[in-house]
Copies of this chain bind each other. A is one copy, B any other.
Amino acid sequence: MKAEILNIGDEILLGQIANTNAMFISRSLVKAGVVLRWITVVGDSKEEILQSLKTAFRRADVVIITGGLGPTHDDVTKYAVSEYFGSPIVFNPELYGKLIKRFEERGLKMPEVSRNQAEVPAKARILPNPLGTAPGLHFEESGKHCFVLPGVPAEMRRIVEDSIVPFFLKHTGGARSCLRYKTLRTTGIFESRLMEMLGDVREIEQFAKLAFLPHTAGVDLRLTVMSRSHEDCRQRLERAEALVRNKVNRYIFGEDDDTLEERVAALLFKQKRTIAAAESCTGGLLSHKLTNVPGSSNYFLGSVIAYSNEVKMNVLGVSSQTLEQFGAVSESTAKEMAEGVRNRLGADFGLSTTGIAGPGGGTPEKPVGLVYIGFSDGTAIAAKKFIFTNDRLANKERSSAAALDYLRRHLLKII
């Protein structure tokens, strides 16, 4: 089955947003065993959409459309597909009921303009959209499939995961030729150093293609295998992974879509320990990451964001002498912050960050990018020094990742 993605949106053509929807759908289709052959982007015009649909169905068996499903006048996708499939738009009482309920649950009256979200082409099967008002649509004609999805990324993603991937997994009974990849996620090591440690990559590439994908706070190692049989795919991936892990395992915190915070959360949860954070240079990002994990209230008690020295002293109990003698950005302050927040909030562990995020505030002795990460379990109190870059947001990202990784290593006792 050959697939095409058709993204509708002037904002993509004007370069105002990157087409991340296409990227997400591409990945999902790989998982579902569907081969994506074309991505097309056109503007919010009914004529353009109709033309592109004709082109798409001349060559593809599956067309996935995103965008232009909202309630406003510039949303024309529904009318274009209705015309293409010769399927008049009808009022759907069930959708209308859900729509009313959706607004009621928020204590709001539904605006009149939203009523058209309950009007859909008669032939379409409805794909539920639990995060928004525009339902997804599925048309099937002469063995070809058309899926129509809202352009809001979270809503689109949810429908792809809930409805489209399962549909293809069932429909194709698993793909005939197999393309698989696996990503091993590392942090705390440079790309060039990783490459050096891996040695001659040809050994690995006997089994799987290896790609280095550097991010702000780590490097992903992607292994890709294409083969006729699932079993061969699986074996090749396994052997390539074993070779990689054999050399750089201590830097690998997870696989594929795993995040560092999820890994740390799982360890804390398993060890039944609690954590509190004292953040200076990360300004809340570390706590934000820790609380992104559902159920984080099981191990996360709270944090103190101590931007000013007064807060460091009055709330965390950092001594004025330490601040005077070593400064706010120092190993001693990081240690006192970690122990202070652990003690103040009654947690098993305290984790701290203090540094110069930039762009201003650097000196020759303490440049922008200098960061200390502190850790305390009440008896052992330690800190580690890092020097990152001169980019504020990247420094916040990297410091948060370094703190999470420091905690991970303490929990795994591989410090």
Binding site for B on A (CB under 8 A): 10-20, 22-30, 36-44, 48, 51-52, 55, 59, 70-74, 105-108, 110-114, 130-131, 133, 152, 154, 179, 181, 183, 190-193, 195-196, 201, 209-216, 222, 224, 277, 279, 282-292, 294-297, 300-308, 310-311, 314-315, 344-346, 357-361, 367, 369, 387-394, 396
Whether B315 and A307, one on each chain, are in contact in the complex, defined by CB atoms closer than 8 angstroms, is: no
The smallest C-beta distance from A222 to any residue of chain B, in angstroms, reads 7
Whether A394 and B37, one on each chain, are in contact in the complex, defined by CB atoms closer than 8 angstroms, is: no
Most interface-central of A36, A55, A284 (chain B CB within 10 A): A284
Whether A74 and B111, one on each chain, are in contact in the complex, defined by CB atoms closer than 8 angstroms, is: no
Return the contact of A307 from the options B38, B48, B301 (Cβ within 8 A): B301
List of B residues within 8 angstroms of A23 by Cβ: 12, 15, 17-19
Whether A284 and B291, one on each chain, are in contact in the complex, defined by CB atoms closer than 8 angstroms, is: yes
**Bound state CA distance, A196 and B283, in angstroms?**
39
List of B residues within 8 angstroms of A284 by Cβ: 279, 284-291, 303, 305
Return the contact of A304 from the options B17, B41, B291, B302 (Cβ within 8 A): B302
Whether A15 and B42, one on each chain, are in contact in the complex, defined by CB atoms closer than 8 angstroms, is: no
- Contact (A387, B286) CB under 8 Å given A114-B192, A304-B315, A392-B294: no
Whether B305 and A214, one on each chain, are in contact in the complex, defined by CB atoms closer than 8 angstroms, is: no
The smallest C-beta distance from A274 to any residue of chain B, in angstroms, reads 9
Most interface-central of A211, A391, A392 (chain B CB within 10 A): A211
* Top 3 A-B residue pairs of the complex, sorted by shortest distance between their CB atoms: A283-B291, A284-B287, A15-B26
Whether A297 and B307, one on each chain, are in contact in the complex, defined by CB atoms closer than 8 angstroms, is: yes
**Bound state CA distance, A130 and B307, in angstroms?**
27
Whether B39 and A26, one on each chain, are in contact in the complex, defined by CB atoms closer than 8 angstroms, is: no
Whether B10 and A26, one on each chain, are in contact in the complex, defined by CB atoms closer than 8 angstroms, is: no
Apart from A106-B369, A284-B289, 11 more pairs, CB < 8 Å:
A13-B26, A15-B26, A18-B20, A73-B201, A108-B190, A283-B300, A294-B359, A301-B310, A302-B306, A302-B315, A303-B304
Whether A294 and B18, one on each chain, are in contact in the complex, defined by CB atoms closer than 8 angstroms, is: no
Whether A346 and B310, one on each chain, are in contact in the complex, defined by CB atoms closer than 8 angstroms, is: yes
**Bound state CA distance, A360 and B230, in angstroms?**
37
List of B residues within 8 angstroms of A196 by Cβ: 111-113
Residue of B nearest to A357 (CB): B291
The smallest C-beta distance from A164 to any residue of chain B, in angstroms, reads 14
**Bound state CA distance, A393 and B154, in angstroms?**
10
**Bound state CA distance, A22 and B12, in angstroms?**
9
